[in-house]
Chains A and B, each alone.
Chain A
Amino acid sequence: METLLQQFSEAMADVTQEVRASVVQITDGRGSIGAGTIWHSDGLIVTNAHVVAGRSAWGDARGERQRRSLHVILPDGRQLPVRVLALDEAYDLAALSVEADNLPVIEPGDSTAVRPGQWVMALGHPWGVRDALTAGVVIGIGAQLPEMQPGREWIALNLRLRPGHSGGPLIDTNGRLIGVNTMISGPEVGFAVPSHRVMAFLKSALGDNGQAQEKPHPLSEPQVV
């Protein structure tokens, strides 16, 4: 009979193994710049706006060059060019599309039912280390967290997010997707955008069915050519 601690440890490894097929790397042609989460089997990928925009302001020449060189590396090793469908600077979200289908997605969870104290896991590629896991508990949820500007909803996390976790999935103990890892506040505290906010972003940017190929959000004002 395994001890409870052994069972706990095995269960964490099992859940991690299940979801890692849906975690992608995002590169700018030179190296890994963050993680992404496969949101739809037809090639829709969600990451953070700051991952794809880099340090350059969105729309300037450097940003444009960087966007052109953006690629996604799937867990099976395929490297595919990326089309940026939509950005939401306020929630730091980006919707990307790659030419692929039958991609594995993470079962969606209910991020409105997240409770303080519940156990959660975050995946990403901190410092370029593939599919690294960090685990901990939910500190709190909502739009009134002490460290954050009020008005935007977050999940505050007591775990060790690092650069490179950005854009990766936050999952519950059933391996269900409840958020997108986004921000760090000190070594032990991180923030994720709850998945219901991601859904709202995708719905407003891409339409009701969230299909990547439909109604791409304009990225700049129309130009006369």
Chain B
Amino acid sequence: MADVLKSLSDDLANVVEAASAGIVRVEGRKRLAATGFVWSADGLIITADHVLRSEGLRVGLPNGDVVEATVVGRDPSTDLAVVRTSASVQAIPRAATNPRVGHLVLAIGRPGDQVQATLGVVSAIGSGRMDGAIQTDVVMYPGFSGGPLINAAGEALGMNTSGFMRGASAAISNAMIAQVAESLVRHGRVRQGYLGVGAQPVRLPQAIAEQVGQETGLMLASIESGSPAEAAALYQGDIIISLDGHATPSLDDLIGLLTGDRVGSQVTLRIVRGGQVQDVGVTVGEKQ
């Protein structure tokens, strides 16, 4: 009987040890160091934006070496930062499948020379504005920020951050990291689309609601001068109900659709104006 327990215990310690080869110490602030993990063997390391405070970033490698590193880019909105080292590093394996609520997970940190670990379960998978977040009950031990959340196979599921949600720990999923990291590597920043409208959710008139199949839309309260919205002749009082066919019942939906890859491209807004549904083409700008 105790064999099961010993196997479980050995498995836990083994996945921690295996993952540790791709986990580094990030010395980017005066107080306690934090953690990062190797995203690709060409030297890209993922860490938390909020742990990079001081000049002269250094990274402590699993073999004990401490090397210089440079900041490639950082995105405070997701608390992600990408740093690069020219030293030889080994990438952590990444999970190919998504975690499910109830899965066992470990948070790994390397605030000192050795890795440290805490254990928990996946509590929830984020949706809506928290899309791309994995909520867990792992304890974020001091210096764990920027480290990986790993599954029972020792594969990274995402990056642990702290102070994102009160009373729970959250990790940024691999998919979100990949999206943000690509933008940071290519542009040095995360691009966000921009229309130049002030908008608020409103209840649609019943006839319109039945026609378009949604209860609410976003009424424009202001149009910024020189903005894409002004160029497209959007007016105060227009109600946006969808963008390229994706419904926008709330502001989060619209913000979620204004992704970096839409910057510079023409999108179709379906709006309600004067009681009529019509389509307006807009070229998405970039938020500065």
Contact = CB atoms under 8 A, between A and B. Distances in A.
A156 interface: yes
B119 A118 contact: no
B139 A117 contact: no
B117 A117 contact: yes
Nearest to A158: B118
Contact of A7 (B4, B32, B112, B117): B4
Contact of B8 (A115, A116, A119, A147): A119
Interface stretch (A64-72, A135-143, A203-211): A135-143
B13 A115 contact: yes
Q: Which 8 A-B pairs have the closest CB atoms?
A: A117-B16, A140-B116, A119-B9, A115-B13, A11-B5, A173-B5, A146-B142, A117-B117
A175 interface: yes
A118 B12 contact: yes
B141 interface: yes
A137 B141 CA distance: 13
B8 A8 contact: yes
Interface string B8-36: 11101111110000000000000010000
B9 A118 contact: yes
A144 B117 contact: no
A144 B116 contact: no
A89 interface: no
Instruction: Classify the secondary structure of A's interface with B.
Output: mixed
A147 B119 CA distance: 19
A144 to B, nearest CB: 5
Contact of B139 (A140, A144, A146, A189): A189
B113 A144 contact: yes
A119 B113 contact: no
B6 interface: yes
Given A115-B13, A118-B10, A146 B112 contact: yes
B117 A119 contact: no
A146 B111 contact: yes
Interface in A147-176: 147, 156, 158, 172-175
Given A8-B5, A116-B16, A186-B139, 16 more contacts: A10-B1, A116-B13, A117-B12, A117-B106, A119-B5, A119-B8, A136-B119, A138-B117, A139-B139, A139-B141, A140-B115, A140-B117, A147-B142, A173-B6, A173-B9, A189-B141
Contacts of A142: 114
A14 interface: yes
Contacts of B113: 144
8 contacts: A7-B1, A115-B17, A117-B119, A119-B5, A119-B8, A119-B12, A136-B119, A137-B118
Chain B, interface size category, equals 20 to 34
Interface residues of A, number: 34
Nearest to A120: B9
B20 to A, nearest CB: 8
B2 interface: yes
A188 interface: yes
A189 B140 CA distance: 10
Contacts of B16: 115-117
Contacts of A7: 1, 4
Interface string A105-130: 00000000001111110000000000
Contacts of A174: 2, 6
B116 A14 contact: no
A220 B169 CA distance: 49
Contacts of B1: 7, 10-11, 14
B283 to A, nearest CB: 50
A12 interface: yes
B10 A158 contact: no
Interface string A177-206: 000000000101100000000000000000
B73 interface: no
Contacts of A14: 1-2
Contacts of A140: 112, 114-117, 141
A103 interface: no
